[in-house]
Amino acid sequence: MQRQFISHLAHRDHPIAAPVSGAHVTRLLRRARLPEGARILDLGCGEAAWTLRALALYEDATADGVDISIDALKAAEANAEIQGVWERIRLHERSAVDFPVAEQYDLVVCVGATHAFGGLGPTVGHVRRYLRPNGLALIGEGFWEREPTPEALTRLGAEPSEFLDLPGTVAAAESAGFDTVYGYTSDLSEWDEYEWSWTGTLLRWANENPGPDADAARAAALEHRDMWLHGYRGILGFVTLLLQRTG
Helix (H, G, I), strand (E, B) or coil at 128: helix
Count of residues in the chain: 247
Pairwise CA distance, residues 7 & 46, whole Å: 9
- Average of per-residue pLDDT across 162-169: 96
Question: What global pTM score does this model have?
Answer: 0.95
Handedness of CA 109, 60, 104, 101 (dihedral sign): positive
Maximum C-alpha span of the chain: 56
Confidence of residue 247 (pLDDT cuts 50, 70, 90): confident
Question: What is residue 17's predicted lDDT score, i.e. its pLDDT?
Answer: 95
Residue 1 has pLDDT above 80, yes or no: no
In single-letter form, the type of residue at position 53 comes to: R
- Average of per-residue pLDDT across 228-245: 96
Outline where the chain has alpha helix (H): 3-10, 22-32, 49-57, 70-82, 120-128, 150-156, 166-174, 188-208, 212-227
- Average of per-residue pLDDT across 85-93: 98
pLDDT in tens, 99-156: 999 999 999 999 999 999 999 999 999 999 999 999 999 999 999 999 999 988 988 8
Over the chain, what is the mean pLDDT? 96
- Average of per-residue pLDDT across 40-50: 97
Question: What is residue 194's predicted lDDT score, i.e. its pLDDT?
Answer: 98
Residue 3 has pLDDT above 90, yes or no: no
Give, in degrees to the nearest 5, the angle at Cα 76 between 45 and 39: 55
- Average of per-residue pLDDT across 73-87: 97
